[in-house]
Amino acid sequence: MEYRRLGRSGLQLSELSFGTWITFGNQIPYPTAKDLFVAAYDAGVNFFDNAEVYAHGESELVMGRILSEVGWSRDSYTVSSKVFFGAGGKLPTQRGLHRKHVVEACHQALERLRVDYLDLYFCHRPDKATPIEETVWTMHQLIMQGKILYWGTSEWSAEEIMDAQRVADQHHLIGPTMEQPQYNLLHREKMESEFLRLFERIGLGTTIWSPLASGILTNKYRDGLRDDFRLNRDELSWLKDRNVVDEKLAIAGRLADLASELGITPAQLSIAWCLKNPHVSTVMLGATRVDQLSENLKAAEAVALLTPEVMERIEGIVGNKPELAPY
């Protein structure tokens, strides 16, 4: 496993990491979750991602139970949580990025995860109802209290991240270290255009999610959605509607043919392509089986196969290279 710096910070994360959205506390039984965690750690993964909203807090409870049982040294791994949506509460004090919820959610995540501090703490979405100054000050204070080590954002625009950085600069506070955007062969705009100025100006790190575009890039949907596919679940209908379209399925099929030529799986090709971007700090993987995770972790070895010629062939297939954003 190779490790990359999280932006300009000194923290090094495994280039492939493990995320628990959808699966932990919801889709897979506890023994499988633990096996996946151990397999990832044994392969060199040192970053495990979570959020208050995942399975309404149950995902963090599962991760906390695993961490308490495996007994790994706390300095050998990093964990994250995210704040905004809440863990199921409906009251206005139970969601958002105002000081009360950000602090309460941090305390609750620490309790569920059974750790003394969060390595990474993300603002899961921007909050138009809370002044950005309040959120930045709160994150800075949590760092000063030793409850979190780094804070960042998830699915924020470049303008919103820069607003947070300006507040931090103005008041000599610690600004956002990382962003968690979606990034894959079908979704490229932020990472390859909109965020370029952030990489240059503030050295933003990224923990990218959905490298397989909700499974589309594995080419497993080429013959339709079986009843046991997760995109058939009611709560994920929005993902199905967005991704399971003929154009994307056709692209996935052509990429799968290229992967076959290279002697790798379509998933390995897609993950390796993400790793080719130097602005990616870590690619978060999800899995429901250990063999699936082990296969996808081999994507790091496939990066060397993506020569300039192969990268050009990929561009010819996807045909969606973003235009550079004006400065």
**pLDDT tens digit string along 52-81?**
999 999 999 999 999 999 999 999 999 999
pLDDT for the residue numbered 223: 67
pLDDT for the residue numbered 244: 62
> Within 10 Å of residue 128's Cβ, how many Cβ atoms?
9
pLDDT higher than threshold 70 for residue 231: no
* Helix, strand, or coil (residue 319): coil
Give 209's strand partners.
Answer: 182
pLDDT higher than threshold 70 for residue 243: no
Classify residue 26 by its DSSP letter.
T
pLDDT for the residue numbered 28: 87
Burial level of 321, CB count in 10 A (0-12/13-18/19+)? exposed
Task: Find, among 286, 221, 211, 208, the residue nearest to 247 by Cα.
Answer: 221
pLDDT in tens, 247-301: 888 999 999 999 999 999 999 999 999 999 999 999 999 999 999 999 999 999 9
pLDDT for the residue numbered 235: 55
Rounded CA-CA distance 251/249 in Å is: 5
Helix 58-70 and helix 99-113: axis angle, to 10°?
40
- 16-19 and 12-14 beta bridge pairing: unpaired
Listing DSSP states for 229-285 in one string gives SGGGSGGGHHHHHHH--HHHHHHHHHHHHHHHHHTS-HHHHHHHHHHTSTT-SEEEE
pLDDT higher than threshold 90 for residue 82: yes
pLDDT for the residue numbered 73: 98
CB neighbours of 281 closer than 8 A, spacing ≥ 6?
4, 5, 6, 7, 13, 178, 205, 206, 207
CA angle 38, 49, 138 (to 5 degrees): 140
pLDDT in tens, 179-205: 999 999 999 999 999 999 999 999 999
Classify residue 320 by its DSSP letter.
-
Can you list the positions of beta strands (E) in the chain? 3-5, 12-14, 16-19, 47-49, 78-83, 118-123, 148-154, 178-180, 205-208, 282-285
pLDDT higher than threshold 60 for residue 240: no
pLDDT in tens, 120-145: 999 999 999 999 999 999 999 999 99
Does 327 participate in catalysis according to the annotation? no
pLDDT higher than threshold 90 for residue 317: yes
Q: What is the mean pLDDT of the chain?
A: 93
CB 239 within 8 A of CB 51: no
Claim: this prediction has a pTM higher than 0.85: yes
pLDDT higher than threshold 60 for residue 9: yes
Active-site residue (options: 3, 41, 54, 221): 54
pLDDT higher than threshold 90 for residue 148: yes
pLDDT for the residue numbered 64: 97
Rounded CA-CA distance 256/184 in Å is: 15
CB 101 within 8 A of CB 92: no
**Structural domains in the chain?**
3-318 (3.20.20.100)
CB 15 within 8 A of CB 283: yes
> Where does residue 245 fall: left (phi above 0), alpha (psi -120 to 50 degrees), or beta otherwise?
beta
Classify residue 288 by its DSSP letter.
S
pLDDT for the residue numbered 226: 53
Listing DSSP states for 62-89 in one string gives HHHHHHHHH---GGG-EEEEEESS-SS-
